[in-house]
Structure 1
Amino acid sequence: MRDRDVRACLAERLRNEHPKPDTRFVDELDLGGLVRVDVAAVNGSLWGYEIKSARDNLRRLPLQIEIYSRTLDRAALVVAECHATKAVQMLPEWWEVIVASEHKGSTHLRTMRPGTQNPAVDPWAVVQLLWRDEALDELAYWGLDRGVRSKPRRDIWKRMVEQLDVSTIQAAVRTRLKSRTDWRVGQ
């Protein structure tokens, strides 16, 4: 069972779990240049799905857990049976665990542990998902852009974190992520 087999099965599952037309699926969502979420679903929440197939190892998982746990509203590990026991011991309780298995040449997914809402989202990590112009537009919307219009994005992000509550930042990020058309420029 390869990553692409698990990814295809997961894509079908996610279309059923997130059927609303305003849901945006993003492959390889960059989280601050440190890690990439294999598959993200952006709707009323920011969901992240990390895939660990049988051919993968778990060496990068601790860093992925740390960064995902700062940024995402909900996270899930989609893991091959051979890694499931070890991986579950590494994960925070709020993470969903989905086990991928192969039967008669077909990949199957089953929920081993349901997930819950992330209890500790870090607004600084979330705001960094915005490109500079997006963050500046958000500040302008709230009348908070004065004095930072010509500043670097870190200053703009800092103003957002200082002046807006985390739920406002999360909503702004979700809206911007769903409306992007070119994911690899503008950063």
Structure 2
Amino acid sequence: MRDADVRRVLRAEIDAAHAADHDTRVVEELALEHGTSRVDIAVINGEIHGYEIKSERDTLERLPKQIELYSLVLDKVTLVVGARHLSHAQEIIPPWWGIRVAELRGGSVVLSPERSEEVNPSPDALTIAMLLWREEALEELEARGLARGVRSKPRRAVYERLVSGMSLPDLRHLVRCRLKNRANWRVAEPLVSCGD
């Protein structure tokens, strides 16, 4: 059972669950920290729910670093793991992460719930702001009259100014809205509502 086999089944389930929800966007390989890491599948609506796949053929070598970064950015996370990794994964992931077990049954991949995900207790505003492209963050600063002095600064200064000028709930809403409506993703999709 390969990553692609698990991903195909997971994506079909996610698409079916959100088929009637026009306020949801599903993005594969969502880049975090400007590409330092990528979430396998992200569901963006009133929250950002990331799904990380570790199939039977994968290792858990990168998981500790992914845990660290995903826990700064994502509202919810579900680890979709091959049965052979379940025990070790349970030892290292945070208690608020959900777990689904991927198994091969009768030639088909089946995803079974092991633990429900909960809301991230400690997201980091700066890392969330870094989901925006520099130009998007600058546009938001311009709209708020906060761009003076940072237009030519490195992107970190732009994100820091955005974070200092907004509450965490407002920042999270803004980032979700921008991600849902980003026009030039790898695959073109229709715009969605920013209503939460």
Within 5 Å, give how 1:29-48 maps onto structure 2.
29-32=30-33, 33-48=35-50
CA distance in 1, matches of 2:183, 2:2: 29
Whether 1:96 and 2:98 are equivalent positions in the alignment is: yes
How many residue pairs match? The answer is 184
* Alpha-carbon separation, structure 1, partners of 2:151 and 2:66: 33
Alignment partners' CA distance in 2, 1:66 and 1:26: 21
4+ long deviations beyond 6 Å: none
**Range that drifts further, 134-143 or 71-80:** 134-143
CA distance in 2, matches of 1:93, 1:18: 26
* Residue 3 of structure 1: how far off its partner (Å): 0.8
Asked if 1:64 corresponds to 2:48, the answer is no
Instruction: Judge which range, 40-49 or 9-18, deviates more.
Output: 9-18
Q: Which range is displaced more, 112-121 or 133-142?
A: 133-142
Residues 129-148 of structure 1: pairs in structure 2 closer than 5 A: 129-148=131-150
Gapped regions of structure 2 (runs ≥ 5)? 187-196
1:2 maps to amino acid: R
Deviation at 1:162, TM superposition (A): 1.3
TM-score by length of 2: 0.90
Shift of 1:153: 1.7
Instruction: Tell me by how many angstroms 1:140 deviates.
Output: 2.0
Aligned to 2:6: 6
Distance 1:150 1:86 in 2: 46
- Where do 1:1-187 residues align within 5 Å? 1-19=1-19, 20-32=21-33, 33-183=35-185
**SS in structure 1 at match of 2:146:** coil
Cα distance in 1 between the residues matched to 2:40 and 2:92: 18
Structure 1: state its 5+ residue gaps: none
Give the deviation of 1:113 after TM superposition. 0.2
| Aligned residues: CA RMSD | 1.2
Structure 1: which amino acid aligns with 2:168? V
Q: Percent identity?
A: 48
CA distance in 1, matches of 2:7, 2:67: 19
What is the distance in 1 between the residues matched to 2:168 and 2:128? 9
Cα distance between partner residues in 1 of 2:17 and 2:85: 24
